[in-house]
Amino acid sequence: MKIETVQGGICAVKGVRAYGLKEGNKGLTLIEGNGIAVGAFTLNRIKAAPILFTEQQLENSGGILSAIIANSGCANSFTGDEGMKNAEKMAELVSGSLGVRKEEVAVASTGHIGKQLDMALIERQLGVVAKGLTAEEAGSTAAAKAIMTTDTFLKECAIRINPHEAAKTESGPKQQTDATVVIGGIAKGSGMIFPQMNTATMLCFIYTDANLDAEALSSSLKDAVDNSFNMVVVDGDMSTNDLVLLVSTGKGGEISEPEFKTGLNVVCTELAKQMARDGEGATKLIELRVKGAASVDDAREIARAILRSPLVKSAIFGERLDLTCGRIIAAVGSCTTADVVDPHVISISFKSNNETVFLAVDRGVFTDLSGPAKDILNGKELFIEVDMGVGEVETTAWGCDLTYDYVKINVA
């Protein structure tokens, strides 16, 4: 199997058209592409109207979507009956504009909580966006830009998989077939990022032309979300609007579920890393590997505890290695539900901008953190490894530092 990165985002997928419009802090995205759909939704006990509505849509349509409409600037969350009516109205508008069944339109929103949608604005913007729908790369880019809020750059990714590439033989080079599969995604997310899904706000729309059934798509999405978006921590706050949708147009080649799952993990991981890199006010991307844990649950709990700790994150921003190590230890110890934590065998190492690894804690003992070691946190990308020393399980998570600008952005 060969995986290669391609241009085009969601529009690299056969059968998909997209476009978006951004006016000030109000944007509208429209994606057209019919196929089998599955979703992952926020576990926040207070779900926004578009989350509740889209869950109903997937049930009512038998798991088929023809279009997705998403607005930015207003979350349509905590808006009561009027909010649900407005979500339904958005689907009705798309149905009339594209000639698709209302039940096959998903709705998503991001922005301020507690405000009603400006439906006149959405209807006007939809008239422009629907006319601009295109299968060209520019359509995916416009769609990704339109859902941005505090994001500083758009987030998209696409890969092509050739599951049938033959191995190289003595008689010649590798032979490829045309039966390829494309997976493309766009996402937004910069703050209020601590998604925990069955599977401000993170939204992610993924399309593929893989010919797979709903069961395979659902299993693949759950696996990818658990390994990527559920392992991103910007600030530890769970949004009311977190949503991931995966739609298969079925217009591509045949692929096995394990092969597709591998490719989907690649796309979701890349988008998750982009979110962490773009954390509100962030100056450093943190990639954290927890290894030697007793269980998967332990590894994931420990990783999230470290990355959501404001003490750890602010120490990294201040480039204080001594404080960072101590606060990581405290965060590990705060995981009271972890089965096995032995302070005598914990090791912590750091690597900045792909430089030499520095062992800061060696099996329960701090090493010399003075001299050149103090500069290890100076880079824009920081790799941390926490070895629990009690098992064989490992996981990777992504986050960012906590800066003055985070506070400035969130009081504005």
pLDDT above 70 for 177: no
**Same domain for 206 and 188:** yes
The parent domain of residue 301 ranges over 285-411
Question: Which SS3 state, helix, strand or coil, does residue 329 take?
Answer: helix
**Same domain for 401 and 343:** yes
pLDDT above 50 for 41: yes
Query: Residue 238 sits in a domain of what CATH number?
Result: 3.60.70.12
- Of 267, 265, 189, 261, nearest to 227 (Cα)? 265
- The mean per-residue pLDDT over the stretch 257-285 comes to 94
**Position 73 confidence tier, pLDDT thresholds 50, 70, 90:** very high
Tell me how far apart the alpha carbons of residues 399 and 236 are, in angstroms, rounded to a whole number: 10
For residue range 44-59, list pLDDT tens digits in order: 999 999 999 999 999 9
Query: Residue 403 sits in a domain of what CATH number?
Result: 3.10.20.340
pLDDT above 90 for 150: no
**Same domain for 353 and 237:** no
| pLDDT at residue 92, as a whole number | 98
| pLDDT at residue 374, as a whole number | 77
- Of 71, 192, 161, nearest to 122 (Cα)? 71
Among 277, 298, 317, which residue terminates a domain? 277
- The mean per-residue pLDDT over the stretch 93-97 comes to 98
**Same domain for 392 and 258:** no
Q: Determine which one of 54, 199, 240, 403 is catalytic.
A: 199
Q: Are 312 and 233 in contact (CB under 8 A)?
A: no
pLDDT above 90 for 97: yes
| pLDDT at residue 401, as a whole number | 94
Tell me how far apart the alpha carbons of residues 330 and 182 are, in angstroms, rounded to a whole number: 43
**Same domain for 273 and 291:** no
Q: Are 165 and 176 in contact (CB under 8 A)?
A: yes
Looking from the CA of 62 toward its CB, the CA atoms found within 13 Å total 4
- The mean per-residue pLDDT over the stretch 399-408 comes to 92
- The mean per-residue pLDDT over the stretch 329-356 comes to 89
Cβ neighbour number for residue 187 with a 10 Å cutoff: 25
**Position 200 confidence tier, pLDDT thresholds 50, 70, 90:** very low
**Same domain for 403 and 295:** yes
Among 255, 277, 299, which residue terminates a domain? 277
pLDDT above 50 for 169: no
pLDDT above 90 for 198: no
**Same domain for 259 and 326:** no
| pLDDT at residue 196, as a whole number | 54
| pLDDT at residue 178, as a whole number | 59
CB neighbour list of residue 171: distance below 8 Å, 6 or more residues apart: none
pTM attached to this predicted model: 0.91
Residue 283 a catalytic site member: no
**Same domain for 120 and 62:** yes
What would the DSSP string read from start to end of 362-396? ETTEE---SGGGGGGG-SSEEEEEEE-SS-SEEEE
**Same domain for 177 and 147:** yes
The token duo for 220 is 């693949």
Among 244, 277, 310, which residue terminates a domain? 277
**Same domain for 189 and 64:** yes
| pLDDT at residue 189, as a whole number | 83
Our count of domains for the chain comes to: 2
| pLDDT at residue 210, as a whole number | 97
**Same domain for 172 and 35:** yes
| pLDDT at residue 236, as a whole number | 66
**Position 173 confidence tier, pLDDT thresholds 50, 70, 90:** very low
**Percent helix, strand and coil across the chain, each rounded to 5?**
35, 30, 35
**Same domain for 105 and 250:** yes
